[in-house]
């Protein structure tokens, strides 16, 4: 769906000319799918990657080979992150290429490659975070449907309170950092020198955004590692 939206908009620009060229004036990072869309996708992909193995006994079979828990998780993480990266990076790259062809891209070859590199890194780190977050909250059960619900509840359980606390108290904008997914999106925006996608995050310093992002990434990885360290092959 995210690919389709960008393709349709780019087609309109090239077919109908300058009337729709305003679409090409935004930052490429702003074409990355919204957080709720990506967490829905991650909530479907991550449980399918690890929950099924636990339920059908494949995890035990893997553990009977030279494969270790660490290498197993690394392989699964690579698979899930790769799937998510296709959805985050693909539309943004198409948009950047469309701007370039239309003559609205970065000035000069050096600046183009800098923009491309920033966009690539931002999409990779966002994909890795969504992978870690969704895998971490998928590993509490061996039922895929329930695992998907747990991932969504983890997202809602952090995003809703962050908004309520920000709007109803005087704690300040830093309280928004308890929302891991939007914090990850804002971190990507800072990497791309893009305007904030999420309202109010622009007032938070880059230092706190960075600390919040890596803090949540570390927590997600620790949850996953602790659960699997205690998990026995049956």
Rounded CA separation 35/10 (Å): 22
- Domain ranges across the chain: 2-18+34-230
Share of the chain above pLDDT 70, in %: 84
Q: Are 147 and 153 in contact (CB under 8 A)?
A: no
Phi, psi of 171 (to 5 degrees): -65, -35
Per-residue pLDDT, 129:
94
Per-residue pLDDT, 210:
95
Considering only 78-82, 99-103, 124-128, which range has the smallest mean pLDDT? Answer: 99-103
Query: pLDDT (tens digit, 9 = 90+) per residue, 149-195?
Result: 999 999 989 888 888 888 888 888 889 999 999 999 999 989 988 88
Q: Are 84 and 42 in contact (CB under 8 A)?
A: yes
List the structure tokens of 84.
């998510």
Per-residue pLDDT, 178:
92
Span 131-140, average pLDDT: 91
Span 27-34, average pLDDT: 65
Q: Are 172 and 201 in contact (CB under 8 A)?
A: no
Rounded CA separation 64/58 (Å): 10
């Amino acid at each position: 769906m995210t690919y389709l939206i960008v393709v349709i908009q780019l087609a309109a620009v090239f077919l109908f000319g300058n009337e729709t060229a305003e679409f090409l004036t935004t930052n490429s990072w702003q074409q990355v799918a919204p957080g709720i869309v990506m967490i829905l996708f991650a909530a479907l992909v991550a449980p399918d990657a690890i929950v099924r193995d636990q339920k059908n006994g494949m995890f035990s079979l893997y553990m009977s080979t030279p494969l270790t828990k660490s290498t197993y998780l690394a392989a699964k993480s690579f698979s899930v992150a790769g799937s998510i990266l296709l959805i985050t990076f693909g539309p943004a790259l198409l948009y950047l290429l469309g701007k370039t062809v239309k003559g609205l891209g970065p000035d000069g070859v050096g600046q183009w490659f800098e923009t491309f590199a920033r966009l690539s890194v931002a999409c990779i780190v966002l994909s890795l975070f969504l992978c870690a977050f969704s895998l971490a909250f998928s590993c509490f059960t061996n039922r895929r449907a329930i695992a998907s619900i747990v991932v969504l509840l983890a997202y809602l359980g952090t995003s809703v309170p962050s908004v309520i606390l920000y709007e109803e108290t005087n704690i300040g904008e830093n309280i928004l950092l308890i929302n891991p997914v939007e914090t990850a999106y804002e971190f990507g925006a800072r990497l791309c020198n893009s305007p904030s996608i999420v309202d109010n995050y622009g007032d938070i310093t880059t230092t706190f955004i960075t600390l919040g992002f890596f803090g949540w990434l570390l927590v997600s990885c620790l949850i996953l590692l602790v659960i699997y360290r205690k998990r026995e092959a049956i």
